[in-house]
């Protein structure tokens, strides 16, 4: 299933439809996106106990004020931490899937902190197993090894995208060349580039 047409035809709300009332990557922002008919781009990290938390940064400091890494927190700690604007809890991917329920396209960005761990894509795929409208799902990452793993182990299940940036922190000269020249696609073997 490499059909990416649902995402080309439908505008995506980046981290949900957030504003001065709704935090980015919050359930309220996702509900607002669904109500307006927008697809959703969101970010997922694995917690220390293997839950998928929906938050952009590897630290929750910017969105909560608490200086903690998602990868070192349990789901109970994540659920007890409130977002700055709405005071909602940081949602899990499972909660977001329940809200969206296949009504709009969903673009899931895997956040790979440090070395790639296949538990991240495995956890995402396990949650999507009984999700309605799987033709409205795509998965992407900046990490080419995460996308390559999906392309190799779950070929054609969903469109898999290689994210490209020239300004990623910590890249050496070779990695910068690979991204800038788009040669990174030969490692990841993606369905699309973004």
Q: What is the pLDDT of residues 73-95, one digit of tens each?
A: 999 999 999 999 999 999 999 99
pLDDT band at 115 (very low <50, low <70, confident <90, very high): confident
pLDDT for 164: 93
Tokens 């307006």 belong to: 36
Give the chain's mean pLDDT.
92
Report the DSSP pairing between strands 52-54 and 39-46: antiparallel
pTM for the complete prediction?
0.94
pLDDT band at 5 (very low <50, low <70, confident <90, very high): low
Is the pLDDT confidence value at 139 over 70?
A: yes
Rounded distance between C-alpha atoms, residue 68 and residue 91, angstroms: 16
**What is the mean pLDDT of the segment spanning 31-52?**
96
At residue 186 the predicted structure's pLDDT band, cuts being 50, 70 and 90, is very high
Sort 113 into a burial class: Cβ within 10 Å, 0-12 / 13-18 / 19+. Answer: middle
The number of CA neighbours under 13 Å toward the Cβ of 189 is 10
pLDDT at 156: 83
């Amino acid at each position: 299933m490499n059909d990416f047409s649902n995402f080309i035809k439908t505008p995506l709300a980046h981290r949900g439809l957030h504003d001065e009332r709704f935090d980015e990557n919050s359930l309220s922002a996702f509900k607002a996106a669904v109500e307006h008919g927008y697809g959703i781009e969101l970010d997922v990290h694995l917690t220390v106990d293997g839950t998928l938390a929906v938050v952009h940064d590897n630290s929750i400091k910017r969105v909560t004020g608490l200086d903690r890494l998602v990868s070192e927190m349990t789901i109970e700690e994540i659920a007890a931490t409130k977002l700055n604007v709405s005071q909602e809890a940081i949602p899990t991917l499972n909660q977001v899937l329940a809200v969206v329920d296949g009504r709009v396209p969903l673009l899931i960005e895997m956040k790979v902190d440090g070395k790639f761990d296949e538990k991240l894509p495995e956890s995402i795929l396990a949650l999507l197993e009984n999700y309605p409208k799987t033709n409205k799902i795509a998965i992407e990452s900046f990490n080419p090894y995460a996308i390559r793993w999906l392309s190799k182990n779950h070929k054609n299940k969903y469109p898999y995208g290689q994210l490209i940036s020239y300004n990623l922190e910590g890249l050496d000269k070779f990695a910068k060349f690979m991204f800038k020249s788009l040669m990174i696609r030969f490692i990841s073997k993606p369905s699309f580039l973004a």
